[in-house]
Chain A
Amino acid sequence: MALYRKHIGRRSTRRIRNAAIIVILLLFAAATLFPIYFMIISSFGDPVEAAAMSYSLWPGKISFASYQFFFDYSTYSLRWIGNSALVAGSVMITNVAFASLAGYAFSRIRFKGRSILFSLLLCAMMIPYQVTQVPLYILIVNTFHIQNTYGALILPGVVTVYNIFLAKQFMSTIPNEILECAKVEGCNQLQIYLRIVLPLSKTVLAVMAILTFMDSWNTFFWPFLVTNTMDMQTIQVGLKNFRFANTTYFAPMMAGATVSALPMFILFFSLQKYFLEGVTVGAVKG
């Protein structure tokens, strides 16, 4: 931290400097948090058409009528949240299971073709998703005929290359002696994976689980493509439909947006450490 002078003279000078820094940071924070603030306070307004009102930047009164309006729009509104939770939960579990298995194999088990297969996987990370979107859509809809099912929503995301990479990176730091010892003791690879590698990788797998859940919850594009009835849609797709069906209803739209974002906010505030760790886990080492 010695980019800044430690001995800046009097203590009061340093105090003033830090206070100035905090003020600037808070101003920037206000700018980036404004949309979220605006979303939440506006969601407590009355569900009237926007032409009749002007937006208030201060919470005037607190009414849940707009939330009621949002949930009354479709009989499936609550199911959207359930669908999102189901899809995100499944994708989270399969990713942690299969990415950790593959990550362990790629980092610690020697087998023929290992490095070629892994470089093949890495190539996938460089391909923009636009390339796969059309063939993937054709595959799911025309070949498998599973359009508008949970299978269509979950299968393509069962395990991502990024997560395999993350697991491999971490697991190659586990000291070799531990694994060798287990082998000498007569453990087979499955036992080593279950009893030693998994417990040692708890943190990185928690990070992976949370980020995967969040990505899946927030994803819009794929569920939008492969669902066509309201009962199968996720909250993001539902919110988009609500917006196009009620273009002038300001407060209910904000209520819907809050509903779609709130679960992630709660998750973030309760598991903040893992979220923040997750950002650097993939980046700094790479």
Chain B
Amino acid sequence: MTTPTMQTAQQAKTGRKRRIRGDGVWGYAFIAVALLVYAMFTAYPVVSAFFISFQHYKPLGSTFTGFDNYAATFRDPLFWKSIRNTLLYTVLTVPVALVLSFCVAILILPLKRRLQTTFKAIYYLPVVASGVALSVVWLWIFDPMPAGIFNRFIAVVGAHNQNWLGSSATAMFSLVIMAWLSSHGASIIIYLAALLGVDESYYEAAELDGATFLQKLWHIVIPFLKPTTLFLLVTGVIGSFQVFQNAFLMTGGGPDNATTMVGLLIFNNAFKYFEYGKAAAQSLILAVIIAGISLFQFKFLGKDVEY
């Protein structure tokens, strides 16, 4: 027994269903290429990396070796050294980049719109230059001869000539300096956008209470920008853990593996020694480390961050 109203309701329901199903076909058609590319060049490689990591890989007939690649990695002192190098590089570069870009954004803030844009463009410019081009330039800036730019610069301060990239004592530090003086353009722009989003009324209220500039900075700006800082911190650390190009192009990981970072170690194992299994195992370890650190940052720093 169906009343007319129920009938129409049912009709409407099937009608909607048909329309949704009709749209569904469009939906699948629209994502088809994206899905295919994703399946072939991301999903399949990830699964494949997992299998390769348990094998001694050879193009014709690999042999299954269980956890050998993982065990060998954890026994390898070079792996631990590369982790140490990566951590050192991250600790020395990421916080400095955050502080620098925060300060610059604060300084840009009171300027007129047009000046703000000009400075944003200036600071962003190095981002558009390719990493290879910049590495070539920095190679010469770090020229070990007394005529080298950096040697001349420290000579002014009274320091001695250094074999910047060629000595294991200074090679890592040289890469860190390069990171410090490379572009912070993106972070500056992101910080500035967040700063412009702070509601005026907070400042006005603080001013009525007689707050100084530093008090406003500490009690309003820094808490308000916490999500932005967290975002930049997490992406910065993730990027830093995958760093490869500068070490590869400038020092090749040397001297004495002083600048071999995990990204470079994996590259060398894969494409220098053709140890695909070992490289795959190490890349998965790296993925776990990165996921762990990101989770840790969100958990402990993001406690009172609302999204």
Contact = CB atoms under 8 A, between A and B. Distances in A.
Interface of A: 1-5, 17-18, 21-22, 24-25, 28-29, 31-36, 38-39, 42, 50, 54-55, 57, 98-99, 101-102, 104-106, 109-112, 114, 117, 120-121, 124, 126-139, 142, 155-156, 158-159, 161, 164, 188-190, 193, 214, 217-218, 220-221, 225, 236, 239-240, 243, 250, 253-254, 256-258, 260-261, 264-265, 267-268, 272, 275-276, 279-280, 283-284, 286
A99 B82 CA distance: 37
Contacts of A279: 124, 185-186, 189-190
Contacts of A239: 130, 132-133, 136
Nearest to A272: B121
A25 B107 contact: yes
Interface residues of B, number: 107
Contacts of B148: 55
Contacts of B300: none
Contact of A134 (B184, B249, B280): B280
B161 interface: no
Contacts of B33: 98, 101-102, 158-159
Interface of B: 20, 23-28, 30-31, 33-35, 37-38, 40-46, 48-49, 52, 59, 100, 104, 106-111, 115, 117, 119-126, 128-134, 136-141, 143, 147-149, 181-186, 189-190, 193-195, 197-198, 200, 203-204, 207, 213, 216-217, 220-221, 228, 231, 238, 241-242, 244-245, 249, 262-263, 266-267, 270-271, 276, 279-280, 282-284, 286-287, 290-291, 294
Contacts of A286: 231
Nearest to B110: A4
Contacts of A193: 30
5 contacts: A39-B133, A109-B27, A261-B129, A265-B125, A279-B189
Contacts of A221: 244-245
A248 to B, nearest CB: 11
Contact of B263 (A117, A124, A130): A130
* SS class, residues of chain A in contact with chain B: helix
A128 B290 contact: yes
A29 to B, nearest CB: 5
Nearest to B199: A2
A265 B197 CA distance: 30
A117 B279 contact: no
Contact of B129 (A2, A3, A264): A264
B305 to A, nearest CB: 13
Contacts of B220: 3
Given A4-B213, A55-B147, A29 B31 contact: no
B30 A127 contact: no
A117 B42 contact: no
B27 A110 contact: yes
A126 B54 CA distance: 22
B30 A36 contact: no
A28 B117 CA distance: 16
B17 to A, nearest CB: 11
Nearest to A2: B203
A25 B45 contact: no
A199 B217 CA distance: 42
Contacts of B197: 284
Given A133-B283, A284-B194, A21 B129 contact: no
A156 B132 CA distance: 21
B126 A35 contact: yes
B140 to A, nearest CB: 6
Nearest to B270: A134
Given A124-B42, A131-B284, 12 more contacts: A28-B100, A35-B141, A55-B148, A57-B149, A139-B48, A164-B34, A236-B133, A254-B137, A254-B140, A268-B128, A272-B121, A280-B193
